[in-house]
Amino acid sequence: MTTYKTGDLRKGLKVQLDGDPYLMIECNFVKPGKGQAMYKCKLKHLIKGTVIDRTWRSDDTVEGADVDEIKAQFLYRQGDKFVFMDNESFEQYELSESQVGDAARFLKEGMVCDVVLFNGNPITVTPPNHVVLEVTYCEPGVRGDTATNVNKPVQLETGAEITAPAFVDIGDLLKIDTRTGEYIERVRKES
CATH number of 67-126: 2.40.50.140
pLDDT of residue 123: 87
Dist. CA 65–CA 127, nearest whole Å: 22
CATH architecture of 3-64: Roll (2.30)
pLDDT of residue 191: 60
Domain chopping of the chain, boundaries: 3-64, 67-126, 130-187
Give one DSSP letter per residue of 92-108, joined into a string.
EEEEEHHHHGGGGGG--
Task: Identify the sign of the CA torsion 97, 103, 109, 112.
Answer: negative
pLDDT of residue 83: 95
CATH architecture of 130-187: Beta Barrel (2.40)
pLDDT of residue 167: 85
Topology match between the domains 3-64 and 130-187: no
Q: Is the pTM of this model over 0.85?
A: no
pLDDT of residue 75: 95
pLDDT of residue 174: 92
Q: What's the per-residue H, E or C state across 20-81?
A: EEEEEEEEEEECCCCCCCEEEEEEEECCCCCEEEEEEECCCEEEECCEEEEEEEEEEEECCE
Q: Could you tell me the end-to-end alpha-carbon distance of the chain, in angstroms, rounded to an integer? A: 52
Which residues of the chain fall below pLDDT 50? none
